[in-house]
Protein backbone atom coordinates (compact mmCIF):
# COMPACT_ATOMS: atom_id res chain seq x y z
CA UNK A 1 0.00 0.00 0.00
CA UNK A 2 1.48 3.32 -1.03
CA UNK A 3 1.87 6.29 1.26
CA UNK A 4 -0.86 8.48 -0.37
CA UNK A 5 -3.54 5.87 0.22
CA UNK A 6 -2.52 5.50 3.85
CA UNK A 7 -2.75 9.27 4.36
CA UNK A 8 -6.27 9.39 2.79
CA UNK A 9 -7.50 6.55 4.99
CA UNK A 10 -6.05 8.22 8.08
CA UNK A 11 -7.79 11.51 7.31
CA UNK A 12 -11.10 9.72 6.67
CA UNK A 13 -10.82 7.86 9.94
CA UNK A 14 -10.13 11.05 11.88
CA UNK A 15 -13.13 12.75 10.26
CA UNK A 16 -15.38 9.82 11.17
CA UNK A 17 -14.23 9.87 14.76
CA UNK A 18 -14.83 13.62 14.94
CA UNK A 19 -18.35 13.26 13.54
CA UNK A 20 -19.11 10.46 16.00
CA UNK A 21 -17.89 12.63 18.89
CA UNK A 22 -19.97 15.60 17.84
CA UNK A 23 -23.07 13.43 17.39
CA UNK A 24 -22.71 11.88 20.81
CA UNK A 25 -22.13 15.30 22.38
CA UNK A 26 -25.33 16.77 20.83
CA UNK A 27 -27.41 13.99 22.36
CA UNK A 28 -26.18 14.97 25.81
CA UNK A 29 -27.36 18.59 25.41
CA UNK A 30 -30.62 19.43 27.29
CA UNK A 31 -33.69 20.07 25.14
CA UNK A 32 -34.66 23.75 24.94
CA UNK A 33 -37.46 24.65 27.32
CA UNK A 34 -40.63 26.35 26.02
CA UNK A 35 -41.33 29.82 27.26
CA UNK A 36 -44.51 29.93 29.37
CA UNK A 37 -47.48 31.57 27.60
CA UNK A 38 -49.11 34.36 29.55
CA UNK A 39 -52.70 33.45 30.47
CA UNK A 40 -55.19 36.32 30.27
CA UNK A 41 -57.86 36.38 32.97
CA UNK A 42 -61.26 35.34 31.57
CA UNK A 43 -64.86 35.36 32.73
CA UNK A 44 -68.08 33.74 31.50
CA UNK A 45 -70.53 36.06 29.74
CA UNK A 46 -74.15 35.28 28.86
CA UNK A 47 -74.58 35.57 25.08
CA UNK A 48 -77.19 34.79 22.47
CA UNK A 49 -76.67 31.29 21.11
CA UNK A 50 -78.82 32.09 18.08
CA UNK A 51 -80.46 35.18 16.59
CA UNK A 52 -83.24 36.67 18.74
CA UNK A 53 -85.67 38.85 16.82
CA UNK A 54 -87.53 41.95 17.93
CA UNK A 55 -90.50 40.96 20.10
CA UNK A 56 -89.34 37.35 20.42
CA UNK A 57 -89.62 35.64 23.79
CA UNK A 58 -86.24 34.39 25.02
CA UNK A 59 -86.03 30.60 25.35
CA UNK A 60 -83.40 28.42 27.08
CA UNK A 61 -82.02 27.26 23.74
CA UNK A 62 -81.37 30.89 22.74
CA UNK A 63 -78.73 31.40 25.46
CA UNK A 64 -75.31 30.10 26.42
CA UNK A 65 -72.33 31.02 28.60
CA UNK A 66 -69.22 32.03 26.66
CA UNK A 67 -65.69 32.69 27.86
CA UNK A 68 -64.50 36.27 27.31
CA UNK A 69 -61.29 38.12 28.22
CA UNK A 70 -62.06 39.95 31.45
CA UNK A 71 -60.46 43.15 30.14
CA UNK A 72 -62.96 43.43 27.24
CA UNK A 73 -66.12 42.53 29.16
CA UNK A 74 -68.34 45.55 29.76
CA UNK A 75 -70.02 46.06 33.10
CA UNK A 76 -73.36 45.99 31.23
CA UNK A 77 -72.82 42.33 30.34
CA UNK A 78 -74.26 39.54 32.46
CA UNK A 79 -71.32 37.79 34.17
CA UNK A 80 -71.51 34.33 35.62
CA UNK A 81 -69.46 35.24 38.68
CA UNK A 82 -71.79 38.13 39.53
CA UNK A 83 -75.12 36.68 38.35
CA UNK A 84 -74.94 32.89 38.30
CA UNK A 85 -78.73 32.68 37.79
CA UNK A 86 -78.79 35.24 34.96
CA UNK A 87 -79.84 32.68 32.36
CA UNK A 88 -82.81 31.63 34.46
CA UNK A 89 -83.80 35.26 35.05
CA UNK A 90 -83.65 36.16 31.35
CA UNK A 91 -85.75 33.25 30.08
CA UNK A 92 -89.25 34.44 29.22
CA UNK A 93 -88.25 38.07 28.66
CA UNK A 94 -89.16 39.85 25.43
CA UNK A 95 -86.49 41.35 23.19
CA UNK A 96 -87.21 45.05 22.72
CA UNK A 97 -84.29 45.11 20.25
CA UNK A 98 -82.87 42.23 18.18
CA UNK A 99 -79.80 40.18 19.16
CA UNK A 100 -77.43 38.41 16.79
CA UNK A 101 -75.78 35.09 17.59
CA UNK A 102 -72.80 35.60 19.90
CA UNK A 103 -73.94 39.04 21.07
CA UNK A 104 -73.77 39.58 24.86
CA UNK A 105 -77.16 39.76 26.55
CA UNK A 106 -77.95 43.15 28.11
CA UNK A 107 -80.87 43.95 30.36
CA UNK A 108 -81.46 47.26 28.53
CA UNK A 109 -82.56 45.31 25.43
CA UNK A 110 -84.97 43.06 27.30
CA UNK A 111 -88.28 43.63 29.05
CA UNK A 112 -90.35 41.43 31.33
CA UNK A 113 -93.80 41.00 29.84
CA UNK A 114 -95.44 39.68 33.02
CA UNK A 115 -98.30 38.35 30.94
CA UNK A 116 -98.78 41.51 28.88
CA UNK A 117 -98.62 41.67 25.10
CA UNK A 118 -95.55 42.68 23.15
CA UNK A 119 -96.61 46.27 22.47
CA UNK A 120 -97.55 46.93 26.10
CA UNK A 121 -94.22 45.43 27.20
CA UNK A 122 -92.02 47.60 24.99
CA UNK A 123 -94.01 50.84 25.36
CA UNK A 124 -92.07 53.34 27.51
CA UNK A 125 -93.59 54.41 30.79
CA UNK A 126 -96.06 57.27 30.44
CA UNK A 127 -96.55 56.75 26.69
CA UNK A 128 -99.56 55.48 24.78
CA UNK A 129 -99.92 53.51 21.56
CA UNK A 130 -102.71 54.75 19.28
CA UNK A 131 -103.49 53.73 15.71
CA UNK A 132 -105.00 55.57 12.79
CA UNK A 133 -105.80 54.73 9.20
CA UNK A 134 -103.27 55.39 6.45
CA UNK A 135 -102.86 54.79 2.75
CA UNK A 136 -99.87 54.96 0.39
CA UNK A 137 -100.88 58.55 -0.40
CA UNK A 138 -100.97 59.61 3.26
CA UNK A 139 -97.94 57.60 4.44
CA UNK A 140 -95.11 58.70 2.11
CA UNK A 141 -95.83 55.99 -0.42
CA UNK A 142 -95.07 53.19 2.04
CA UNK A 143 -91.55 54.38 2.85
CA UNK A 144 -92.45 55.00 6.49
CA UNK A 145 -91.21 52.07 8.57
CA UNK A 146 -91.43 51.16 12.27
CA UNK A 147 -89.09 53.28 14.45
CA UNK A 148 -89.15 56.15 11.93
CA UNK A 149 -90.12 59.64 13.11
CA UNK A 150 -92.99 61.51 11.50
CA UNK A 151 -95.04 64.70 11.67
CA UNK A 152 -98.82 64.32 11.62
CA UNK A 153 -100.63 66.83 9.38
CA UNK A 154 -104.37 67.49 9.55
CA UNK A 155 -106.12 68.78 6.41
CA UNK A 156 -109.65 70.20 6.65
CA UNK A 157 -112.03 71.53 4.04
CA UNK A 158 -113.79 74.72 5.22
CA UNK A 159 -116.24 77.19 3.75
CA UNK A 160 -114.74 80.20 2.02
CA UNK A 161 -115.34 83.21 4.29
CA UNK A 162 -115.66 85.44 1.21
CA UNK A 163 -118.81 83.57 0.18
CA UNK A 164 -117.32 82.05 -2.95
CA UNK A 165 -118.48 78.63 -3.96
CA UNK A 166 -115.00 77.11 -3.76
CA UNK A 167 -114.06 75.75 -0.34
CA UNK A 168 -110.69 76.31 1.31
CA UNK A 169 -108.46 73.44 2.43
CA UNK A 170 -106.39 74.28 5.50
CA UNK A 171 -103.53 72.10 6.69
CA UNK A 172 -101.73 72.19 10.00
CA UNK A 173 -99.11 70.15 11.85
CA UNK A 174 -100.88 68.73 14.89
CA UNK A 175 -98.11 66.42 16.11
CA UNK A 176 -94.39 66.69 15.48
CA UNK A 177 -91.51 64.24 15.75
CA UNK A 178 -93.45 61.20 16.97
CA UNK A 179 -92.22 57.62 16.71
CA UNK A 180 -93.88 54.97 14.57
CA UNK A 181 -94.34 51.78 16.58
CA UNK A 182 -95.83 49.56 13.89
CA UNK A 183 -97.35 49.44 10.44
CA UNK A 184 -100.45 47.21 10.62
CA UNK A 185 -99.29 44.46 13.01
CA UNK A 186 -95.64 44.62 11.95
CA UNK A 187 -93.34 46.18 14.60
CA UNK A 188 -90.38 45.96 12.20
CA UNK A 189 -89.72 45.93 8.47
CA UNK A 190 -90.18 42.59 6.79
CA UNK A 191 -87.02 40.89 5.52
CA UNK A 192 -85.13 44.19 5.36
CA UNK A 193 -87.57 45.73 2.88
CA UNK A 194 -87.31 49.47 2.26
CA UNK A 195 -91.08 50.00 1.94
CA UNK A 196 -94.07 48.73 3.88
CA UNK A 197 -97.61 49.29 2.64
CA UNK A 198 -100.26 49.12 5.34
CA UNK A 199 -103.74 50.28 6.26
CA UNK A 200 -103.02 51.41 9.83
CA UNK A 201 -100.12 53.00 11.67
CA UNK A 202 -99.49 52.82 15.42
CA UNK A 203 -97.82 55.87 16.94
CA UNK A 204 -96.11 56.36 20.30
CA UNK A 205 -97.76 59.37 21.94
CA UNK A 206 -98.14 61.11 25.26
CA UNK A 207 -101.67 61.02 26.73
CA UNK A 208 -102.44 64.60 25.64
CA UNK A 209 -101.11 63.84 22.16
CA UNK A 210 -103.36 60.78 21.94
CA UNK A 211 -106.35 63.02 22.70
CA UNK A 212 -105.27 65.45 19.98
CA UNK A 213 -104.99 62.66 17.42
CA UNK A 214 -108.36 61.19 18.41
CA UNK A 215 -110.07 64.57 17.87
CA UNK A 216 -108.23 65.19 14.61
CA UNK A 217 -109.40 61.89 13.10
CA UNK A 218 -112.97 63.21 13.25
CA UNK A 219 -112.06 66.61 11.77
CA UNK A 220 -110.39 65.82 8.45
CA UNK A 221 -107.72 63.83 6.67
CA UNK A 222 -104.48 62.85 8.42
CA UNK A 223 -101.18 62.64 6.56
CA UNK A 224 -97.82 61.41 7.85
CA UNK A 225 -94.72 63.35 6.84
CA UNK A 226 -91.53 61.32 7.17
CA UNK A 227 -88.70 63.12 8.98
CA UNK A 228 -85.02 62.80 8.11
CA UNK A 229 -82.99 60.84 10.62
CA UNK A 230 -80.70 63.88 10.86
CA UNK A 231 -83.63 66.07 11.99
CA UNK A 232 -84.87 63.90 14.85
CA UNK A 233 -83.17 65.96 17.56
CA UNK A 234 -83.53 69.37 15.91
CA UNK A 235 -85.63 71.83 17.91
CA UNK A 236 -88.71 72.88 16.01
CA UNK A 237 -88.76 76.42 14.64
CA UNK A 238 -91.26 78.81 16.15
CA UNK A 239 -94.51 78.97 14.24
CA UNK A 240 -94.11 82.77 13.95
CA UNK A 241 -91.12 82.24 11.68
CA UNK A 242 -93.09 80.25 9.12
CA UNK A 243 -93.98 82.00 5.88
CA UNK A 244 -97.70 82.04 5.11
CA UNK A 245 -99.89 83.70 2.56
CA UNK A 246 -101.67 86.95 3.41
CA UNK A 247 -104.74 86.39 5.56
CA UNK A 248 -103.99 82.68 6.17
CA UNK A 249 -103.96 81.47 9.76
CA UNK A 250 -102.51 78.29 11.21
CA UNK A 251 -102.55 76.54 14.55
CA UNK A 252 -99.47 74.45 15.37
CA UNK A 253 -99.99 71.78 18.00
CA UNK A 254 -96.87 70.12 19.37
CA UNK A 255 -97.01 67.50 22.08
CA UNK A 256 -100.68 68.29 22.62
CA UNK A 257 -100.17 72.03 23.26
CA UNK A 258 -101.79 74.52 20.88
CA UNK A 259 -99.68 77.55 20.05
CA UNK A 260 -101.39 80.97 19.77
CA UNK A 261 -102.97 81.57 16.37
CA UNK A 262 -100.73 83.70 14.17
CA UNK A 263 -101.96 85.65 11.16
CA UNK A 264 -99.71 87.01 8.44
CA UNK A 265 -100.49 90.69 7.88
What pLDDT is recorded for position 46? Answer: 94
- What's the pLDDT tens digit per position in 218-239? 888 899 999 988 876 665 543 3
What pLDDT is recorded for position 8? Answer: 65
pLDDT in tens, the chain (265 residues): 567 777 666 777 777 776 776 666 555 556 666 777 667 888 999 999 999 988 788 999 999 999 999 888 888 899 998 888 999 989 988 888 889 999 999 988 888 866 667 787 778 888 999 998 888 888 888 888 888 899 999 998 877 777 666 777 888 999 999 999 888 877 766 666 667 778 899 999 999 999 999 999 888 889 999 998 887 666 554 333 433 333 344 454 444 444 444 433 3
- Structure pTM? 0.57
**Domain 42-121, second-level architecture:** Alpha-Beta Complex (3.90)
Write down the domain spans for the chain. Answer: 42-121, 123-263
DSSP the chain: --HHHHHHHHHHHHHHHHHHHHHHHHHTSPPPPPPPPPPPPEEEEEEESS-B-TTPBP-GGGEEEEEEEGGG--TTS-BTTT-TTHHHHHTT-EESS-B-TTPBP-GGGEE--TT--HHHHHSPTT-EEEEEE--TTTTGGGT--TT-EEEEEEEEEE--TT--SS-EEEEEEEEEEEEEEEETTBSS-GGG-S----SEEEEEE-HHHHHHHHHHHTTSEEEEEEPPGGGTTPPPPPGGGS---TT-EE--EETTEEPPPEE--
- What's the pLDDT tens digit per position in 99-137? 999 999 998 888 886 666 778 777 888 899 999 888 888
Amino acid sequence: MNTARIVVLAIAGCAGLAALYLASGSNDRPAPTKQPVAQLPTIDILVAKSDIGLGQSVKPEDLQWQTWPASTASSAFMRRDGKPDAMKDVIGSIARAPFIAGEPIREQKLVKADGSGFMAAILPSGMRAISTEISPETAAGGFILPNDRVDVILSRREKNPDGNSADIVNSEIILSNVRVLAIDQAPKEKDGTSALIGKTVTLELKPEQAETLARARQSGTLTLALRSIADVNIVEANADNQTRRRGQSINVIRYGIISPQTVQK
